[in-house]
Structure formats: structure tokens, C-alpha cells
Amino acid sequence: MKKYKKIVHLTPLDQRRFKSLYIFGLLIILCLFGRLIKLQVFNASDLQREARLLQSFKVNPLKKRRSIVDRNNRLIAYDKPLYKLWAHPKYFNFIGDSANRVRSIKEVAKKLSPILNIQDEILMKKFNNKIGGIMLLDKISEEKAEKIKNLQISGLDLFKYSQRYYPQGELYSNLVGFVNHENKGSAGLELYLENQIKVFKKSNFLKRGGDGTPLPDNSAPGDFISDYKSLGLTIDSKLQKASYSALSKQVSKWKAKKGFAIVMDVNNGQILSLVTAPTYDPNKFWQYDSELFKGWYSQDIFEPGSTFKPINLALALEEKVIQKDGLVEDNGKINVGGWTLSNWDKKGNGYIDYPKLLQVSSNVAMVKIMQNLDPAIYWDLLKNLGINKNLETDIYESTAGQLKKKDLFVNQSIEPAVASFGKGFSISPLKLVQLHAALANGGFEVTPHVTTNFKEKEYENSKKQFFSHEVSKTVLEWMESVVDKGSGSSAKIEGYRIAGKTGTSLKALNGSYTRKKVCSFVATLPVNDPKYVVLVVVDEPSEFHAYGSTVAVPVAKEIIESLIVIEKIPPNIKDHEIIVKKP
């Protein structure tokens, strides 16, 4: 069948309709042109500002402080990422809901409660019938925050922040300290080394492309690199734990006010462990008395008592007022300037050599020895040891020791007499450690420190030398006899040569001595190759029979046993011979 094409007849356009369309189109063009002029000319600056806000965003550094780690890189303190959960009830909407649907608080609480481990009713009470922004909870872990994100509930916002955390709790508190609620160092290393721990990182502005990709602009190299540095300590956590365990048990047993124990490398001043008891949990510092925050081992001073006798003997040897194989008569009492001085047990020991002097801890023998030394020279020697100076260290700002004025020391014969057995002047426990380290390492001054990047003071020629190598070796061997057969005998360990000296001093108050004691013990090992010094100080043990030998020595022995294992210190071959039978 043949198909025919349909013919359409065109009619001319109505002139009035054409004019109307023309005028309408012209008006639209004029309006658009006017709008363009308004945007480009009159609103240009406002639009540029809004564009910048949309195209750029500010990045603040989350990590505020560097981590603190021990010598084996175990964490001691770090910034822990946490979250705050904010809720906006008027925007509550679940995934798949229509845009205008608003979910109830009850529905949202039902989904949140299993994640937050909070009952629905308790969670709902936090809203208090508010529909504005509400801070529901803080200190939310990353794991829980991720679960909340996965709910994809509109109206819930998570704000990320960091909080200082101390995973080892009380073990390091008296050394490391803590930060306050404003993330500022408030005690210990956190305060004293604030500038080394705090991350000084500026905020950065990023530009975004159309797909949201950050586009760095005018940024210096490293601006967007995270700070992964940490503050490294010389402390060994295993030894720290063993030291704290030994010390805290003894402080508790003797109902003492406080105790201190330290292990230090005598050759470089590196501290391997430093503990005090009682202590506190830095994660909950607000629950404790602020007196516990003090680093008293460098800020408090005490009369060292008999633990200073080896130092005085070294000074006497250096000045040649005694000979290595000499003897001294101990009558049990001696009168000096109208004062009667006696031994701790009121008994005499007859003629004794210097190892025996240390074994029985004779005060009278020490007075007689130091009377051979000119008081002015004696005072100068004590000053040269830095008795009355601040100890330069990275731990705390130390308190300078107290030494009587020179004219009083020279003109009052009782002053050098009592100084001979560690009385009449005061030093910090940390200073006593430094002096015994010098006795052990050949006479050289080292600075006690806990950070791995600590630089010892450089002297013009060499490190300051307090004693000659020969004198140090001699006195150390005399101290060894104290552990072998003297007041420190309970610290003896088979196969190891250990030198030591006990000390028991009465505390002074308002110019007179009280019945309160400070019991101490200092040990150096191994004598054949000195490497470590251990000092234990227990303040105000309550029992009457408290002495350095009964209170401090047992703590030191436990610490030394742990030190031997951790540092793999071999026994002395001569004292620990291995017999091999021939086949």
C-alpha cells in the first residue's frame, strides 16, 4: 500500500507574541548581567573570603608532648588519643531515613548504650531534655569511637583530642611526674624538661581541590610531618620495678616516712633506676597529697653520717696525713673543745687499721685522723667536692648542700671533728651518689642524669678529679671489708666483690638532734672492675633497732641481685673458680 507524506502548512508568527518573547529574553539577560556585576564588583571580597573558607581548612597538631621511653624503648609516658562525643538531637537521623525524619533520643540511646557500656536510662538522663549541642561523654577510646562512627547516625559528632597517659603507673611517678588538666608539666621531668618534651608545632592551613584532596600551599618542608621523636631515659624498667619492690616492702615493714634507692653507672653518671616510696599514680594525681610530687632525693638535704667516712679517708690519704698501712687508736670516747664525742656503741676498739675502722664505723678514730689535717685545708677540700653547690643534672633543680662558714669551721674545733664522721653539714642523696661514684671510677666527677641525650659539663682540660686513682682503689678495697666482715655483711653475694658502707644518723631539728633516724647504705660493684654504685636511704624508720645494716642493706642486696641478672655481670673468677676434671 502506498504511503503518503503529510503536508504541514506553516503559519506566520504573531508579531505581538514575538515581541513579548524578545522583551522577556532581553530582561532575563539584563538581570543576569546585573547579577554578574553585583557578584563580580560589589560582592567580590565577601565571596572570595567564603571561597577561601570552603577551599582551605586548618590542621592543628594533635600530639602535644613527646613520648617518654626507657633505655629499651618501653613506654613510660605518651599522648593517648581519645574522643569526646557530642549530640545534636534535632538532627538525629539514621542511615536510609528520609531527610526530614528526626529520630528520638531513646532510639539513639538504644544504639549507643552497648558501645559505651552505659544503660539506656542513664544515657538518656544526660540529655536533660535539651535539643541543642550536648557533650555526652569524653575519654572515649579509639575502638569505641570507630564503632560509633560505623553507626552513621546524623547528629552525633566525635571530637578527637589527646591525653597524657602513664602506662606503668606509680613506678616512675617520682621521677617523670605528670601533666595537669591543661596538658602542662606540673612535676618531675614533665615540668623540669618541659621544653624538651613539649611539641612546638605550628598549625597549618591546607587548600582543597574540587575532589577534596589537600593541596599544600606555601608550606615549608616538614610542616606536615608528624613528630615521632621521644625523650629517651637511661632507666631500665625491669631494674626499676625490682628496686621499687624491694624498697617499698622495707619502707612498709619499718613504717618509715619515706625511702629512696638509686643505681648509677660510675663511669658516665647514667642512672639505671631511681625509685622512692611512698609514691602515687600520675594518671590520678589529684587524689594524692602534693608532698608526694617532690623529688626529695635532690631537693632535700641530710647529714650523710657514716656513709661519708670513706670520702674523708680518701681526703686524708690524698693529703698524706695517713698512710695506707697505718693504725689509729680508738678509746671509745674523745674530748674536743669541751664536747665529748663517742662511738655509736660507746665502746672502744683499741688500735685498728683503716679497713677495721670502716667495719666497726668508729667515730673516734675518724676524729683523730682528721685532726691531723689543717682545718682550713679540710674546709677547702670539702668545698672543692662541691658540698655547698647545686648539683648540675637533668632530673630536678637540686638544692645546694650546707657547709659551715670557713671561719667558724676553722676556729671551732668541734666543727671539723663532727664533719669527720659525716655530721655538721648536709648534702642531697644524689650528691652522695656522685661522690661515691668518684671513689669507684678512679676519682673523677660524673654528673648523675637520666636522659640519653644529656651532655656532661665539659671542663677546660679534663673532667674534674677529686681523688687519685691509687687513693680511690685503696679506699674501695677498705670498703670491701665492710661487706666481707663488717656492718654490711648481709649484702654479700657469693662470687662477687662488693664494697659498701652503712650509715645511721640522727635528724636535727632547731639546732638539736632528735631520736628520728636516717638509715642508709652505699655499695659499689664489682670491686675488681667498678661499674655501679647503689645507694639506699630510708627516712625515719619507726623501730628502735633501726640501723643502716638492718634497714637499708637488705634493700640494696635485693637490688644488686637483680642488677647482676639484668646487666649480666659475671662473677669474679678468683672467687668463683670452676674446676674442670681431666677425662
- Whether residue 368 contacts residue 389, with contact meaning beta carbons closer than 8 Å, is answered with no
**Active-site residue identified among 237, 306, 398, 472:** 306
Q: Is the dihedral of CA 123, 127, 131, 137 positive or negative?
A: negative
CA distances in angstroms from 223 to 52, 218, 500, listed in the order given: 20, 10, 54
Neighbours of 50 (CB within 10 A): 11
Per the DSSP assignment, residues forming a β-bridge with 327 are 353
Phi and psi, residue 152, nearest 5°? 55, 50
Whether 306 is a known active-site residue: answer: yes
Phi-psi region of 425 (alpha: psi -120 to 50; beta: other; left: phi over 0): beta
Q: Are strands 156-165 and 178-179 parallel, antiparallel or unpaired?
A: unpaired
- Taking alpha carbons only, the member of 402, 338, 415 closest to residue 376 is 415
- Taking alpha carbons only, the member of 209, 422, 208 closest to residue 307 is 422
Which amino acid is it at 514? T
Phi and psi, residue 242, nearest 5°? -65, -40
Question: Reduced to 3 states, what is the DSSP secondary structure of residue 529?
Answer: coil
Q: Is the dihedral of CA 390, 517, 342, 491 positive or negative?
A: negative
Residue in the structure block whose three cell numbers are 671510677:
441
User: What sections of 81-151 are H helices per DSSP?
Assistant: 105-116, 120-125, 142-151
Q: How far apart are CA 325 and CA 477, in angstroms?
A: 13
- The H or E element containing residue 474 is helix 469-485
Which amino acid is it at 283? N
Q: How far apart are CA 267 and CA 529, in angstroms?
A: 11
Q: How far apart are CA 428 and CA 260, in angstroms?
A: 11
Instruction: Count how many residues are written for the chain.
Output: 583
Query: So which residues are the catalytic ones?
Result: 306
